[in-house]
Amino acid sequence: MQIQLKRKACSFAHLAAALVFFLLAVKAEARDWQIYKISNRDYVSCENVAKFYSFQRFAKEGSDRIFAVPELMMRWKTGSQSIYVNNIKFNLSFPVVGSGDKALISTVDLAKLVDPVVRPSYIKKPIRFDTVVIDAGHGAHDTGAKGKLGLEKNYALDMALRLEQSLKQRGFKTLLTRRTDVFLTLSQRVDIANRQKNAIFISLHFNSSGSQTANGIETYALAPQGTRSTNGGSNPWNSPLSGNVRDAENIALATSVHAHVMNDLRAVDRGIKRARFNVLRGINKPAILFEGGFVTNPTEGRQINDPGHRQRLADSIANAVVKFRTAVSGR
Ligand SMILES: [Zn+2]
């Protein structure tokens, strides 16, 4: 297990109640974990998690397990590959396993999701950043998703420029991978990000589907080593990728952005997901890919076409970057 348990317990820091981030005071040691082996994979029990993180309330309601302190509620369901933290949906790498009256979560999900989400201040050696590399997806002949009212490449660029202004107002430096309607390969985008010091990376996209009913916002972080991508049916990927050095920060950044946007925009929540997109796998900085709704959905297509809506998205993401920095560094 890669959970860092030796750092001294942090004090409670109250962030906005609507947000997921909450810094739990934990004094437990690694020996406090009892490991269950299922199909050669390590798991821990719900009781163990409740005790380790000192949740004041822990309840079993049928197949649900509820963990709560005043500012945070986490809900698991046996058999499900999603958990909810403050009503934000997270996709697990492996489903919650029911065994008798126990619900078991994989140690991969404990270390790579639950821990950095419920106590980001414990992330080891977090990046100190003052720059945000903003990547507007697609460009030129690569139009991205096509909606009735507009193209993904144009919406993404417009939002990137808005996010740049919003971040500058909050004291950050910014670098855009493109400022005009040009084509960049995915590796060019990665190179731009990796040349920057003290930076994080946010790739902006909008979604499409053959079905007009598909809707909602989703945020991607790189899938950890040894797990499947949330979207793919492929076998678990066992080689480490450059981006995996930032696993904890990746999910913490995804959490902050997704929770802020869900809270501010009241959008349909498709969850925080895992993938091995080319723009995420090679980046040695905390990195996420944000999908801000479906241009192919009539309602969302109209919203995305509204500059005011794109401004609200950009401002929400900028506030999330501020909160991420505070959450991981205590600044
Ligand atoms: Zn795209």
Ligand 1 center to 156 CA (angstroms): 8
CA 183 from chain centre, in angstroms, equals 27
The pLDDT confidence band at residue 11, using thresholds 50, 70 and 90, is: very low
pLDDT digits (tens, 9 = 90+) for 281-292: 999 999 999 999
Structure-token pair, residue 123? 């992330």
Mean pLDDT rounded to a whole number for the chain: 89
Helices (H) and strands (E) in the chain, counts: 9, 15
Ligand 1 center to 192 CA (angstroms): 18
Cα–Cα nearest to 237, from 281, 285, 193? 281
DSSP labels, 88-122: EEEE-SSPPEEETTEEEEEHHHIIIIIHHHH-GGG
The pLDDT assigned to 20 comes to: 47
Ligand 1 center to 168 CA (angstroms): 25
Report how far residue 89's alpha carbon sits from residue 123's, in angstroms, rounded to the nearest whole number: 21
**DSSP symbol at 141:** T
CATH number for the 131-329 domain, one of 3.40.630.40, 3.40.640.10, 2.60.40.1170, 3.90.440.10? 3.40.630.40
CATH number of 30-122: 3.30.457.10
Residues belonging to the chain: 331
pLDDT at 133 over 90: yes
Burial of 242 (0-12, 13-18, 19+ CB in 10 A): middle
Structure-token pair, residue 233? 């049916």
Return the biggest CA–CA distance within the chain: 58
**DSSP symbol at 244:** G
Ligand 1 center to 280 CA (angstroms): 13
Q: What pTM was computed for the model?
A: 0.90
Q: Is residue 93 within 8 Å of 135, Cβ to Cβ?
A: no
What residue spans define the domains of the chain? Answer: 30-122, 131-329
